[in-house]
């Protein structure tokens, strides 16, 4: 099976966000897979934590019939086995029209009587339509997505409009169009205009346009909505080619190209990495997708060793692999599959262990709620989460990138450490060296895997103060001769001689040497050194 996918160009519509924490407290169920071949995936891009104000009220009347519209068009035979989401009560299984992702209930309401279309739950299973039903659940509208139309007759060259309606969402809901066929990527929509998004009490309507100047744009599209509680839902629209080629008006071409280029120049979301070749192809992909065995960037740069190095290393198999639990080959060696195949709805291990226990992350703990720290010190905070597949722990500062550009760039690192006895348990350690005033703010821990994402509550508040040089007790300090100050628990303060770390044991960014030698010259400036040797150790 030769499958390559999900490299999406980012084309996300999100509502401007600030951090609130209360919104995360709802218990939600989300599924979503970076799936094989054709079906829509849950795109866990840029979950937005946003202002809680003006959230649409949810007093919509019942018996909305929109769900029926999406049912018949779904190309269900190709969808991956998605997992059904849990219902709170013993009612009909709710779910999806799209067959791809999963349903979610808004805010743990109970006593639902809603039914809608039945999603695909296993490989090759056809979707069936159940009676349309009440979408209002105990005062809440079920979070779901409807696309209009579901089938669109198109001609090459024309501009088409796709409408995605999200019920039960709020201002924090992000809506993303992705393309599933013939190429998996973020939908190459035309530039958005002001009035494309309409928000009413009961629904969010997003209109997007695509100019079919390239035959590869004719295909199947999925609209996925994500709210700030980790709920996700999606619906599919299929384009069918009809008639002959209609050339796009010439005067548009330059404009459109420029717009697309502008779009690609956008900075990636804090939960994304940049693809190396941002001129052609995908610009950003989920951090969770780096080094997972799939080339998600068109240039494959998400699978480069430098990204694998950011993930926990295994002794017997590659970082990009998942080891089937009970399966051995004929020589008795463990069998591994691409990590992207874990929890994608297909049995890839002979013992099916790659599809066992798949669940979105939960946060187990965070190390600090509040830290006051001096400039030039090193900040270290941790966050532990559980999930299957093993979640990736990401951090945001004031809802944006850590260290300005979000890169794991030496001054800032996001280390992932998997529990040796429990692969579903991961601790993320954020280290920010040589703290400066720009590092001040609210740090959010987020845990993401193919099943969903969650943010830690509360965030960690970091207050950066100018370091004073007054000596404190130096007893018990082990700072390798680079500081006489440490906290009562032995953490060195104000490391000198271009060193950083809890014990001033590392050289600062741009310096090289062994800071543990204990001389003022342990760390030497790297100015005259070529780039190659800069990265050689
Ligand atoms: Ca990948
Ligand atoms: Ca699998």
Q: Which listed ligand is nearest to 33 at the C-alpha?
A: 2
pLDDT of residue 327: 65
Render the burial of 19-51: b for 16+ CB within 10 Å, e for the rest. Answer: bbeebbebebbbbbbbbbebbbbbbbbbbbbbb
CB 73 within 8 A of CB 81: no
pLDDT of residue 291: 94
- Least confident among 376-380, 413-417, 468-472: 468-472
- Is the confidence at residue 461, as pLDDT, over 90? yes
Write down the mean pLDDT value for the chain. Answer: 70
pLDDT of residue 24: 35
Tell how far the Cα of 533 is from the centroid of ligand 1, in angstroms.
Answer: 28
The average pLDDT across 84-96 equals 35
- Is the confidence at residue 221, as pLDDT, over 70? yes
pLDDT of residue 519: 84
Tell how far the Cα of 41 is from the centroid of ligand 2, in angstroms.
Answer: 14
Among residues 444, 454, 425, 428, which one has the least CA distance to residue 311? 428
Of residues 402 and 135, more confidence is placed in 402
pLDDT digits (tens, 9 = 90+) for 330-351: 777 788 999 999 998 888 898 8
Is 76 strand, coil or helix?
helix
Tell how far the Cα of 121 is from the centroid of ligand 2, in angstroms.
Answer: 14
Tell how far the Cα of 57 is from the centroid of ligand 2, in angstroms.
Answer: 39
Q: Which residues surround ligand 2, an ion (CB under 5 A)?
A: 341, 344, 346, 348, 354
The average pLDDT across 244-251 equals 38
- Is the confidence at residue 262, as pLDDT, over 70? no
Show the tokens assigned to 156. Answer: 């090459």
Tell how far the Cα of 294 is from the centroid of ligand 1, in angstroms.
Answer: 4
The average pLDDT across 121-148 equals 53
Tell how far the Cα of 35 is from the centroid of ligand 2, in angstroms.
Answer: 9
Tell how far the Cα of 418 is from the centroid of ligand 1, in angstroms.
Answer: 19
Task: Count CB neighbours of 192 within 10 A.
Answer: 16
Please give the domain boundaries of the chain with CATH numbers for all domains.
12-260 (2.60.40.10), 272-356 (no CATH), 360-465 (2.60.40.10), 485-534 (2.10.25)
How many alpha carbons fall within 13 Å on the CB side of residue 103?
A: 32
Q: How far is Cα 82 from Cα 344, in angstroms, rounded to an integer? A: 8
Most confident of 85-89, 93-97, 116-120, 522-526: 522-526
Q: How confident is the model at residue 243 (pLDDT cuts 50, 70, 90)?
A: low
Tell how far the Cα of 228 is from the centroid of ligand 2, in angstroms.
Answer: 27
pLDDT of residue 230: 82
Show the tokens assigned to 389. Answer: 């597949």
pLDDT of residue 344: 86
Tell how far the Cα of 72 is from the centroid of ligand 2, in angstroms.
Answer: 27
96's enclosing H/E stretch is none
- Is the confidence at residue 131, as pLDDT, over 60? no
* Share above pLDDT 70 across residues of the chain, in percent, rounded to a whole number: 64
Label each residue of 166-190 as H, E or C.
EECCCCCCEEEEEEEECCCEECCCC
- Is the confidence at residue 87, as pLDDT, over 70? no
- Is the confidence at residue 97, as pLDDT, over 60? no
CB 40 within 8 A of CB 180: yes
Q: How far is Cα 83 from Cα 72, in angstroms, rounded to an integer? A: 20
Of residues 216 and 7, more confidence is placed in 216
Tell how far the Cα of 80 is from the centroid of ligand 2, in angstroms.
Answer: 10
Q: How far is Cα 260 from Cα 210, in angstroms, rounded to an integer? A: 11
- Is the confidence at residue 252, as pLDDT, over 60? no
The average pLDDT across 378-383 equals 93
Of residues 258 and 182, more confidence is placed in 182
Q: Which listed ligand is nearest to 347 at the C-alpha?
A: 2
pLDDT of residue 474: 39
Q: How far is Cα 502 from Cα 273, in angstroms, rounded to an integer? A: 28
Q: How confident is the model at residue 405 (pLDDT cuts 50, 70, 90)?
A: low
- Is the confidence at residue 8, as pLDDT, over 50? no
Task: Count CB neighbours of 330 within 10 A.
Answer: 5
Q: Which listed ligand is nearest to 35 at the C-alpha?
A: 2
Residues 6+ away with beta carbon under 8 Å from 108: 26, 27, 28, 88
Tell how far the Cα of 330 is from the centroid of ligand 1, in angstroms.
Answer: 29
- Is the confidence at residue 517, as pLDDT, over 80? yes
Tell how far the Cα of 271 is from the centroid of ligand 2, in angstroms.
Answer: 23
- Least confident among 159-168, 264-273, 527-536: 527-536
398, with CB counted inside 10 A (0-12, 13-18, 19+), is middle
- Is the confidence at residue 263, as pLDDT, over 50? no
Give the C-alpha distances (Å, rounded to integers) separating 175 from 19, 184, 227, 320, 479. Answer: 19, 17, 9, 29, 50
Strands 412-418 and 506-507: unpaired
The average pLDDT across 387-404 equals 89
Residues 6+ away with beta carbon under 8 Å from 212: 154, 155, 156, 157, 158, 159, 160, 218, 239
- Is the confidence at residue 255, as pLDDT, over 60? no
Q: How confident is the model at residue 400 (pLDDT cuts 50, 70, 90)?
A: confident
Render the burial of 506-518: b for 16+ CB within 10 Å, e for the rest. Answer: bbbeebbbebeee
- Is the confidence at residue 449, as pLDDT, over 60? yes
Of residues 191 and 293, more confidence is placed in 293
Q: How far is Cα 473 from Cα 143, in angstroms, rounded to an integer? A: 57
Label each residue of 338-376 as H, E or C.
EHHHCCCCCCCCCCCHHHCCCEEEEEEEECCCEEEEECC
pLDDT of residue 146: 93
Paired residues of 176 in beta bridges: 12, 224
């Amino acid at each position: 099976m030769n499958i390559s996918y999900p490299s999406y160009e980012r084309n996300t519509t999100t509502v401007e966000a600030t951090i609130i924490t209360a919104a995360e407290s709802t218990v939600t169920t989300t599924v979503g897979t970076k799936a094989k071949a054709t079906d829509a995936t849950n795109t866990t891009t840029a979950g937005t934590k946003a202002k809680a104000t003006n959230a649409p009220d949810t007093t919509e009347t019942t018996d909305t019939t929109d769900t029926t519209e999406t049912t018949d068009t779904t190309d269900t035979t190709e969808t991956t086995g998605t997992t059904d989401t849990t219902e709170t009560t013993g009612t009909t299984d709710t779910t999806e029209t799209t067959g791809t992702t999963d349903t979610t209930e808004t805010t743990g309401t109970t006593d639902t009587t809603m039914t809608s279309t039945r999603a695909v739950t296993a490989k090759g299973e056809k979707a069936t339509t159940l009676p349309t039903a009440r979408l209002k659940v105990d005062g809440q509208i079920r979070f779901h997505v409807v696309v209009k139309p579901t089938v669109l007759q198109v001609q090459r060259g024309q501009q088409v409009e796709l409408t995605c309606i999200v019920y039960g969402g709020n201002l924090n809901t992000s809506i993303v169009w992705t393309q599933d066929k013939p190429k998996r990527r973020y939908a190459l929509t035309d530039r958005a205009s002001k009035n494309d998004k309409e928000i009413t009490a009961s629904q969010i309507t997003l209109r997007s346009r695509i100019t079919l100047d390239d035959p590869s744009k004719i295909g199947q599209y999925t609209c996925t909505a994500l709210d700030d509680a980790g709920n996700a839902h999606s619906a599919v629209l299929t384009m069918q080619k009809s008639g002959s080629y209609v050339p796009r008006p010439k005067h548009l071409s330059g404009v459109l190209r420029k717009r697309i280029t502008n779009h690609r120049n956008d900075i990636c979301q804090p939960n994304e990495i940049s693809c190396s070749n941002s001129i052609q192809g995908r610009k950003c992909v989920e951090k969770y997708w780096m080094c997972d065995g799939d080339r998600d960037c068109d240039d494959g740069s998400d699978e480069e060793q430098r990204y694998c190095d950011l993930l926990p290393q295994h002794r017997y198999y590659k970082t990009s692999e998942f080891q089937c639990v009970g399966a051995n080959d004929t020589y008795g060696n463990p069998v591994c599959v691409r990590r992207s195949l874990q929890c994608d709805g297909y049995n890839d291990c002979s013992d099916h262990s790659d599809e066992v226990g798949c669940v979105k992350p939960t946060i187990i703990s965070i190390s600090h709620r509040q830290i006051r720290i001096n400039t030039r010190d090193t900040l270290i905070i941790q966050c532990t989460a559980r999930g299957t597949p093993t979640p990736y722990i990401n951090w945001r500062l004031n809802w944006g990138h850590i260290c300005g550009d979000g890169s794991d760039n030496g001054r800032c690192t996001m280390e992932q450490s998997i529990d040796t006895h429990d692969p579903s348990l991961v601790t993320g350690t954020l280290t920010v060296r040589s703290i400066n005033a720009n590092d001040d703010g609210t740090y959010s821990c987020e845990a993401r895997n193919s099943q969903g994402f969650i943010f830690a509550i509360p965030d960690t508040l970091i207050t950066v103060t100018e370091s004073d040089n007054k000596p404190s007790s130096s007893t018990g300090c082990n700072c390798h001769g680079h500081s006489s100050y440490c906290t009562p628990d032995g953490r060195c303060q104000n490391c000198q001689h271009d060193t950083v770390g809890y014990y001033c044991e590392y050289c600062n960014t741009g310096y090289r040497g062994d800071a543990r030698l204990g001389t003022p010259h342990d760390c030497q400036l790297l100015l005259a050194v070529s780039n190659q040797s800069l990265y050689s150790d």
